[in-house]
Amino acid sequence: MNKILFLGLVFVAGSVNAAAPCLSSTSTLPSVDSVYKSGKFRIYYNSNPENENYLSDRTDLNNNGIPDYVENMAIQANATTEALTYLGFTHPLDSNRYRGVAQYIDIHLIKLNGNGVAFEMAQNFINKPIKEGKCSLTLHIRNNLEGFPGNYWTTGTHEIFHLYQYGYNQFKGGWYLEGMTNLMERLLRQGTQGGNGLTQLPSTQAQLESDVYAVPYNQLWHRLAVLSDNTNGQLNLPSELLNRKYIDGSKVFKDERLKGHLFIKKILENIEKKTDQLSVVNGWDKYNWAEVNQTISENRSYIIKVVQETMYDLDMDKTQEERNFLNLK
């Protein structure tokens, strides 16, 4: 799930090298009183049984005083970014947009109606001592995912990948954000793509509208992943990473496969170029578009055009299915 965080803002802070502003906020932060730090991640949670955000699962198999739920979230988060870095994706904190601005990715384990939310703007909660005056990117993740991590939950990976999308470009839209991320969370999750990537590409403009643009968790990206990758999707990651375990000894990478990640990486790189071009043409701050400009319907055709150009670059124009899709606007 994606969202922009609207807060009570005091001022916009940055540095000489800052690409985007860090929003300094005094508004309400979900009630958290504990933090576990791991690499560039800070996992926040609540240890007060009287608080609505209390982390009720206190299982601690390694008896180190940190709930396994918290440690497992950190393990999943670090495995996600390490794998994506190895595969050539630019870490959000190293992206042109956030480099020199955000220092951490903060994960708040709190009570939520949904499973998770990824916030776009880097921010510093200046009146919250637990935040140490550090600017960060923020994720909210439900603190009671049933049986987390189990064989299903890759919510951490899902929300973190939204930060990659935000780091690369300014486009929004569920069909793009959620559809692509639903594919990419299979980096850790079982299954190289949803529905085995068998749903064919839309062949008409009407299909593109109804089956892709109108469906956040659409099958477009899964199909493109299959068509772009003639391997079995084996992830050629370091053995130390592929052998990473959760606290209970279960594997982090469930099947060690993901088709189409090179195609998705190229798409993000090309979309970044497109949003940079649009920023120049329209006189917009390329790292901080207005929300209305991020979500306008015209952006759909820009993204599809980038997809089509990338397909041509990769010689994905040989079948009738591909040619039909390449004719769409």
Give the model confidence (pLDDT) of 301-325 as tens digits. Answer: 999 999 999 999 999 999 999 999 9
CA pair distance 45, 67, nearest whole angstrom: 10
Give the model confidence (pLDDT) of 126-141 as tens digits. Answer: 888 999 999 999 999 9
- Res 293 pLDDT > 50: yes
pLDDT value at residue 178? 97
CA pair distance 113, 97, nearest whole angstrom: 30
pLDDT value at residue 1? 53
Q: Is 175 exposed, middle or buried (0-12, 13-18, 19+ CB in 10 A)?
A: buried
Q: Is the Cβ–Cβ distance between 75 and 68 less than 8 Å?
A: no
What separation in angstroms does the CA of 273 have from each of 85, 254, 277? Answer: 20, 34, 6
Instruction: Provide the 8-state DSSP code for 200.
Output: P
Give the model confidence (pLDDT) of 18-38 as tens digits. Answer: 477 898 877 678 899 999 999
Q: Region 55-69: what's the mean pLDDT?
A: 98
CA pair distance 251, 243, nearest whole angstrom: 7
Q: Round the average pLDDT of the chain to a whole number and report it.
A: 92
CA pair distance 48, 143, nearest whole angstrom: 13
pLDDT value at residue 11? 34
| CB-CB neighbours of 327 under 10 Å | 11
Q: Provide Rg for the chain, Cα atoms.
A: 20
Give the model confidence (pLDDT) of 210-257 as tens digits. Answer: 999 999 999 999 999 999 999 999 999 999 999 999 999 999 999 999
What separation in angstroms does the CA of 245 have from each of 80, 120, 188? Answer: 13, 30, 12
The pTM of the full predicted model, rounded to 2 decimals, is 0.93
According to DSSP, the residues that pair with 21 across neighbouring strands are none
Instruction: Indicate the residue type of 239.
Output: S
According to DSSP, the residues that pair with 37 across neighbouring strands are 42
- Res 8 pLDDT > 70: no
**Token output for 257:** 């496969």
- Res 208 pLDDT > 70: yes
What is the β-pairing status of strands 41-45 and 104-110?
A: parallel
Q: Is 10 exposed, middle or buried (0-12, 13-18, 19+ CB in 10 A)?
A: middle
Instruction: Provide the 8-state DSSP code for 254.
Output: S
pLDDT value at residue 4? 39
Higher pLDDT, 79 or 8: 79
pLDDT value at residue 20? 78
pLDDT band (50, 70, 90) for residue 15: very low
CA pair distance 295, 239, nearest whole angstrom: 40
pLDDT value at residue 276? 96
CA pair distance 303, 138, nearest whole angstrom: 26
CA pair distance 320, 297, nearest whole angstrom: 28
- Res 16 pLDDT > 60: no
For helices 174-184 and 220-228, the axis angle rounded to 10 degrees is: 50
**Is residue 5 classed as helix, strand or coil in its secondary structure?**
coil
